[in-house]
A = this chain, B = another copy of it.
């Protein structure tokens, strides 16, 4: 029950064990397009889909590298370590990050975004994390991106730990580049899955030195793959098999059902956590993610000990939080294939047994 990556479903694993076809055949080209169509349904978008052949950080770095001009000002929404981290890439590629920060158990307020944008009228780009994994919090990207998009900013959303588990609507919400991760709520292998708006393509083409012939270039995918059906380089065939199957599983269930399932498992988990006397990490339940629950580490308890003992005795693995939140929160992911009420029950029972084994008594 961990966030990164989550367990690959058996069906997807088997799909990945198929003998790889030569990727330059029309058969594989059709299969790849079919994979993209399925991802578009999951992303609920008519924008182009791009699969970047590397973990989610590749897609995020590529989004910055492919669109930013040196000197561009970017509004970086900072409600957690991943949100803040976007600023580092902005600097690396010559931009100027301006941060809007909140405490790491809180979410960004869209009204504050409006105010900030009033101040920073020359900002070209906005970056925001949808589900801030280490904190188990959700930012209201719908309101945020609509506002920014209307004012002409290019919006980049990190939806790594929400894509496929929560409702996202790129066009309606004004998201230009939405970057997800196949290894989280899709229970697939770790590649970047992205939707790219027309506006984003134009930004890439109009960049002073358009980024081409690079592993970080999103534009290469447009100019080679989308236009000419030629891969810019040898694709990771087995992983594409995996993503196709993972997407098929999700779509067979239906997006609305999938979202509801994540929601009800999240509810059950939060209720169970509170019933055993523990505290949720997010300030308010309304900003808690449907895809993972961050639990405040109780005083006097070592989170690593809890995690290790729980795995050893009860066979269930939950995660530590990361970066600034390490040691402060524990993460129970309920993503994709793993997000079932039965798993929630098992995890809560195991956590309760473990804490009891360690002598924890609710106050």
Q: Report which A residues bind B (CB closer than 8 A).
A: 2, 4-5, 7-8, 10-11, 13-14, 16-20, 22-24, 53-58, 61-62, 88-89, 92, 183, 189-190, 213-216, 233-239, 242, 313-317, 340-343, 345-347, 349-350, 353
Contact = CB atoms under 8 A, between A and B. Distances in A.
Nearest to A234: B55
Given A10-B10, A346-B342, A350-B341, A183 B17 contact: no
A315 B340 CA distance: 8
A349 B344 CA distance: 10
A340 B314 contact: yes
Q: Which of A189, A316, A349 neighbours the largest number of chain B CB atoms within 10 Å of its CB?
A: A349
Contacts of A340: 314-315
A7 to B, nearest CB: 7
Contacts of A10: 10, 13, 18-19
Given A216-B215, A314-B340, A343-B346, A16 B238 contact: yes
A298 B56 CA distance: 47
A88 B234 CA distance: 19
28 contacts: A4-B234, A5-B20, A5-B23, A5-B234, A7-B19, A8-B20, A10-B19, A11-B18, A13-B18, A13-B20, A13-B238, A16-B16, A16-B17, A53-B55, A55-B235, A55-B236, A58-B215, A61-B214, A92-B213, A236-B239, A238-B239, A314-B341, A315-B340, A316-B342, A342-B349, A343-B346, A345-B346, A346-B346
Which of A17, A56, A343, A347 has its CB near the most chain B CB atoms (within 10 A)?
A17
Given A14-B18, A183-B234, A189-B239, 17 more contacts: A5-B234, A13-B18, A14-B14, A16-B17, A20-B189, A54-B54, A55-B234, A55-B235, A55-B236, A56-B234, A92-B214, A315-B342, A341-B349, A341-B350, A342-B347, A342-B349, A345-B345
A23 B316 CA distance: 15
A341 B354 CA distance: 12
A89 B213 contact: yes
Contact of A190 (B213, B214, B236, B347): B236
A2 B17 contact: no
A348 to B, nearest CB: 8
A213 B88 contact: yes
A353 B2 CA distance: 25
Nearest to A232: B57
A193 to B, nearest CB: 14
Contacts of A14: 14, 17-18
Nearest to A19: B10
Given A236-B189, A315-B340, A345-B349, A13 B5 contact: no
Closest 7 CB pairs of A and B: A17-B17, A345-B349, A342-B346, A346-B346, A55-B234, A57-B233, A58-B215
